[in-house]
Amino acid sequence: MADKPDTITVPGAPGDVLPEIDDMATPSLGPTLVAVLRPIASLKIAVALFAMAIFLVLAGTMAQVHKDIWEVVRDYFRTDVAWIEWRVFFPKSFFMGTALEGLTDIEEGKGFPFPGGWLIGGAMTVNLLAAHAIRFKVQAKGSRLVSGLAVIAIGAALTAGVILWGSMQSGKENQLLQEWPSLRILWQLAQG
């Protein structure tokens, strides 16, 4: 009878259970901070937030049957809590001429509260930052790190320059700097 060939184990292979967080990647964070950030950095929370965002986009898209696009943006995406009306899920065009046409007679205002775009986006940001704080390890050192950060800074400056230069081409005074006071202050600080 032939012997079984030696098996090769590959870390991360299907069926292999890896630790959720590499404690070696967080030497600068204290154990207390890691214990606080670990539940916030959960992948389950990230997936739930993505699902909520997808549902909000669906509801906002369907709400455009009854509202203008900018009303939907204001009421669904640029708010902490959105009020989603039941009638957005039963548009008349879906059920017209069928036995279910009566479902479309839902009166305006009946619905349910749901986390809005600001709340979901803010929670996603906190989740992402916590995950990076726990799992991310800077591998570059010395001149590679400095040059990488310099490239990022140059890219950010070029992007800001294109945005500001593009908004000045209309012949009017730059409305972007007037409408966003914090951006105007940053611009003044950058000028010296």
SS3 138: coil
* pLDDT average, residue stretch 138-157: 93
- Cβ neighbours of residue 179 under 8 Å, at least 6 residues apart? none
CA distances for 96 relative to 87, 93, 103, angstroms? 14, 5, 10
Q: Residue 86: which residues within 8 A CB-CB, separation 6 or more?
A: 106, 110, 111, 112
Lowest mean pLDDT among 95-99, 109-113, 167-171: 167-171
Q: Judge whether residue 82 has pLDDT over 50.
A: yes
* Distance (Å, whole) CA 27 – CA 56: 38
pLDDT tier, 47 (very low <50, low <70, confident <90, very high otherwise): very high
Which pLDDT does position 72 carry in this prediction?
Answer: 94
Instruction: Give the per-residue pLDDT at 18.
Output: 44
- Say what the pTM is: 0.63
